[in-house]
Chain A
Amino acid sequence: MTLKRMLENWSDYRKQDYYEDEPYMWGMSIDLNKCIGCGSCVTACYAENNLPVVGKEHYSRGHSMHWMRIERYWNEQDGDTDIDIKHSDYPERGAHYTPMMCQQCNHAPCEPVCPVAATYHTPDGLNAQVYNRCVGSRYCGNNCPYKVRYFNFFDFFKDVAHPLEMQLNPDVSVRTKGVMEKCTFCVQRIRSAKDAAEDEGHRDHIEDGSFKTACQQTCPTEAIVFGNLRDKDSKVKTLWASHEVELDRFEQNKSEDVRGYRVLEELNVEPCVMYLDRVRDTEA
């Protein structure tokens, strides 16, 4: 970008909500009531996005590369009615499962801190990571409140035994050491769906449900819903509306009974993933 062009378009750059008129804003909804913590979304993500399986030793050192992970939390015991996990024979019983991946924040904290602008916001609301541009300062990883950015501490694919490299997805690049990576909302699928729609002649509209992310496709209980938040009739938009979760807020004005919330939205990072709270019967 030359300085001249920058000055000519100065008012555009100063505009708030620069991408407001874009036809797409990709978003997600995850129903924790439906999530059974089976981990199939995690497996699907490994297969789709060429994630390295790092092995036990690296995993225990915190070098794992799972773009999607199932977090488990247990309630502190609250009175007699709650489950006493500490003294139970089955201490893992009663965990809350939270599938956690990049929340594609609209005010992403990782974006302004990258010295080489390797991570930036796409017009369709994705938080993109340009592997080729990344120099590996890892500031984005530090500044991510969800800690869903994964750094290639080693060249994990260097020593893959011969036939195994054939299983890699040709649509997704294999990352080398020293590069940051994270969930892309399966951007390769989004791009090919966009191309297909353009071939059919509609530039601004992809039919809802015409493609799925890998995790959504694999989820046995259909807890994950993905789609275009700018499309009023899409399933994900309907879910967001019915659970009274809105963008552009750091605190939701919602009624007591609805289950929708966004993780850490009070940090004003504008995540594009809505979670639906789990309702549980502790006396069961």
Chain B
Amino acid sequence: MSDYSMKDIEWAKINKDVLASLESPRKEFWIVLAVCMLLVLCGAAAEAYQYNEGLGVALMNRPHFWQLYISNFVFWIGMSHSGTLLSAILLLTQADWRKPIYRFAEAMTLFSILTAAIFPVIHLGRVWNMYWVLPYPNERTIWPNFRSPLLWDAAAITTYATSSVLFLYVGMIPDLAICRDNATGWRKKLYTTLSIGWMGRASEWMAFRKTYVLLACFLVPLAVSVHSIVASDFAMSIMPDWHITSFPPYFVAGALYSGCAAIITLFVLLRYVFKFEEYMTTEIMDKTAKLTFAIAMVWNYLNLGEYASIWYSNDMFEKEVLLQKFFGPYHWVVWGMLLCATVAPFAMAFKKVRHNMWGMFWLSLVLQLGMWLERFQIVSPPLASNHEPWTWSVVWPGTVQLTITVASFGWFTMLFLIFCKVFPSVSMYEVKEMVFHRRKASSRTDMEDLNEVKDNMIRTEEGLS
């Protein structure tokens, strides 16, 4: 039993460390938050200007009806995918190492969707009429066009956002109860409401487990379908190099890839800013890097497969666009993508790189740059060299588009930082479980004690009810 009380202290330390993140982050936290808010203000100003003047100020034109807004949309939706992957898929496959990092990955999912959802809205010519895309009841009984992939987008994004909020929230309830027990003031009120009376009874845990796994089962196919639908925006068109059957899996793989890279970035940042060195260990980074590497290879395979199928299809238009991609005006985007997203991930094959925290940080930024360029080269080069040679033209995004793009990163980071300050960004109860299972593996005798305690708890619970 003496051993047992010591463990209690350790578990209390977990609570203390995580709860400290809500109180005293490093000074850099506030600096970054201020910069992000400034960026968001700049973006809002750019959008106000565009709203009043018309979309022409974004320097899009005919044939470049779509540009950065759409590639950013795909980028952010993609980013949201690995939160689901890490959380839901790894939960279902019972991968133990996900536990300290899944909470912030889920938050990342949610905030990426909130960022992504901005883009299809601001890129509309008449933003004030955007609700026409939804099948709302109206006196003229006008339906939207159910054949349009943009309508599927609207449905998919709202579904995905709702389910992600639910998944994030449900997984957080036991931790919110811990926060409630330690908080004062407005936080006490907030956590009391959100933890919906969680007492930690065995029956509560059982109901919680079931709900959580069910939600995970729902979320995995949903995530795959969401990015397939985003891919349909392109694949359902008849544009050369958009009309590609393999786009849905290609987009899903790309989404997981860039999302994993983003997880690595935030992993290192959170570890530093909130002093989580004991929880986010090198071993977990190693596993995340291996996962990223595997997904990078899948993405590369699909990318090369796409090139090969275009080449051997011998379709005049598709082939022309492919050649224009590599040797045309947008060539550096494509070569940059291949360098950053195809060549760079091979660095993760080396253990030395995987175990170097700040090395991984910079590498993950390179991977994300590559994936961002990938989204740009999906949208722009096919528009530049389309079916109609008379309209061929090259356009680079203007100041307004670039400002809003940068602001979107600020918006995302701002939401994320506020989340980390208000909610526990590391799952306390799951980390405890992980510690418990590790101990279980290392020493048998302690285990018996713990099992006894567990049995007692269940007995007390039965007695209570």
Contacts and interface: CB of A to CB of B under 8 A. Distances in A.
B126 A147 contact: no
Nearest to A179: B125
B61 A138 contact: no
A142 B239 contact: yes
Interface string A196-233: 00000000000000000000000000000000000000
A248 interface: no
Given A136-B55, A138-B66, A267 B387 contact: yes
B55 A151 contact: yes
B62 A113 contact: no
B237 interface: yes
Contacts of A63: 56, 61-62
B141 A2 contact: yes
B54 A152 contact: yes
Given A135-B130, A142-B239, A151-B55, A115 B65 contact: no
Interface string B264-302: 000000000000000000000000000000000000000
Contacts of B62: 62-64, 141, 147, 149-151
Place the interface of chain A in its size category.
Answer: 35 or more
A86 B55 CA distance: 38
A135 B125 contact: yes
A145 B144 CA distance: 24
A168 interface: no
Given A135-B125, A145-B387, A178-B126, A153 B238 contact: no
Interface in A234-284: 264, 267, 269
Given A145-B388, A146-B387, A151-B55, A136 B66 contact: no
Interface in A124-147: 133-139, 141-143, 145-147
Given A63-B56, A73-B390, A145-B387, A115 B148 contact: yes
Given A62-B393, A142-B239, A180-B125, A117 B145 contact: yes
B190 interface: no
B125 A154 contact: no
Contacts of B154: 115
A143 B239 contact: yes
B55 A178 contact: yes
A71 interface: yes
Nearest to A145: B387
A135 B133 contact: yes
A1 to B, nearest CB: 6
Contacts of A117: 142-145, 148
Nearest to A71: B390
A155 interface: yes
B53 A114 contact: no
B236 A113 contact: yes
Q: Which of B56, B64, B127 has the most CB of A within 10 A?
A: B56
B389 interface: yes
A138 B125 contact: yes
Contacts of B129: 135
A177 interface: yes
B417 interface: no
A154 B53 contact: yes
B149 A153 contact: no
B383 A135 contact: no
A112 interface: yes
A56 interface: no
Contacts of B151: 115
Given A133-B132, A137-B125, A180-B125, A113 B63 contact: no
B391 interface: yes
A83 interface: no
Interface residues of B, number: 47
Interface string B36-65: 000000000000000001111001111111
Q: Which of B53, B55, B60, B236 has the most CB of A within 10 A?
A: B55
Q: Which of A134, A138, A154, A179 has the most CB of B within 10 A?
A: A138
A261 B393 CA distance: 26
A58 interface: yes
Nearest to B120: A137
B164 interface: no
B386 A145 contact: yes
A108 to B, nearest CB: 10
B124 interface: yes
Interface string B390-405: 1101010000000000
A136 B387 contact: no
A267 B388 CA distance: 13
B65 A138 contact: yes
A152 B395 contact: no
A61 interface: yes
B382 to A, nearest CB: 9
Q: Which of B143, B147, B388 has the most CB of A within 10 A?
A: B388
A38 interface: no
Interface in A44-67: 58, 61-64
B150 interface: yes
Given A100-B390, A117-B144, A135 B55 contact: no
Nearest to A109: B238
Contacts of A137: 120, 123-125, 150
B388 A136 contact: no
Nearest to A176: B126
A113 B145 CA distance: 8
Nearest to A133: B132
B65 A62 contact: no
Nearest to B233: A139
A115 B125 contact: no
Nearest to B236: A113
A172 interface: no
B116 to A, nearest CB: 16
A135 B132 contact: yes
Nearest to A61: B61
Contacts of A147: 62-63, 386-388, 391
Contacts of A151: 55, 62, 65, 125
Nearest to B389: A73
Nearest to A138: B65
Given A116-B133, A179-B125, A155 B54 contact: yes
A115 B237 contact: no
Interface in B345-385: 383
A115 B142 CA distance: 12
Contacts of B236: 112-113
Nearest 6 CB-CB pairings of A with B: A136-B125, A178-B125, A62-B61, A153-B56, A138-B65, A117-B145
11 contacts: A61-B59, A62-B393, A69-B390, A98-B390, A100-B390, A113-B236, A115-B145, A116-B133, A143-B238, A147-B391, A179-B125
